[in-house]
Amino acid sequence: MQLVQQVRHALRLGLLEEGDQLPTVKEVVARLAINPNTVLKAYRELEHEGLAAARPGVGTFITRTLTGASLAAHAPLRRELQRWLDKAHRAGLDDESIEALFFTTFRTAAQQDIA
């Protein structure tokens, strides 16, 4: 699931675009020291979602993106988030505390949106 989530994040941020080739299973296994079946399963999930397509003997390629119109909003939001992160570090929070605070706040806000 982490591999699939990383690809989705890269697609949302515009780091991967339609036509880009994903690393081969062998390359991912060498870099991350994980089971090849795990990588194959992740790539199949991306194919099932319509985000990637395997081309036998060539590789796996991105078939669509997830950026949409929101990509233009990323730069100012990223600057604002960076300022918040800097403020959190100055307040003495370590990376794990910042991550916990962010995700707890994010999940609480998401639950309120549902209600």
Cβ atoms of 98 and 85 within 8 Å: the answer is: yes
**What is the pLDDT, as a whole number, of residue 65?**
85
**pTM beyond cutoff 0.85:** no
Cβ atoms of 65 and 11 within 8 Å: the answer is: yes
Model confidence over 76-92: pLDDT tens digits? 888 999 999 999 999 99
Which domains does the chain show, CATH number per domain? Answer: 2-62 (1.10.10.10), 69-114 (no CATH)
